[in-house]
Amino acid sequence: MQTRFVVVPAVPLEKELFPRRIGFPSGPGAGYDLYDTRDKVRVNLNVATRAEAECECTLRNAQQGVSGSSRMGHG
């Protein structure tokens, strides 16, 4: 079974001051976000470390499992 939330690198919140052709391209955004694989949307948490993002991801997936299993029993 595929998990609902996965960790992805954060996107930069600020725009580059210089076009890429003039200087070095900026790196990926600082931090990590979650991606909701069911609703196909990025959850912008912008946590600093991957470990924090993994923890949040695990918590959200665990909550989804509890609520998902209880809904399936009432049908």
pLDDT tens for each residue of 16-40: 565 556 555 555 557 999 999 999 9
Asked if residue 57 belongs to a domain, the reply is yes
Query: How many structural domains does the chain have?
Result: 1
pTM for this model (two decimals): 0.67
Amino acid code (one letter) for 45: L
Distance CA 75, CA 64 (A): 17
What is the rounded CA–CA span in Å between residue 35 and residue 57?
9
Q: What is the mean pLDDT of residues 44-56?
A: 93
Confidence of residue 4 (pLDDT cuts 50, 70, 90): very high
Spatial separation of the C-alpha atoms in residues 65 and 71, rounded to whole Å: 10
The boundaries of the domain holding residue 54 are 1-12+28-69
Here the tokens at position 8 are 């992805």
Mean pLDDT, to the nearest integer, of 47-66?
Answer: 92
Q: Provide the pLDDT for residue 52.
A: 96
Flag whether 19 is in a domain. Answer: no
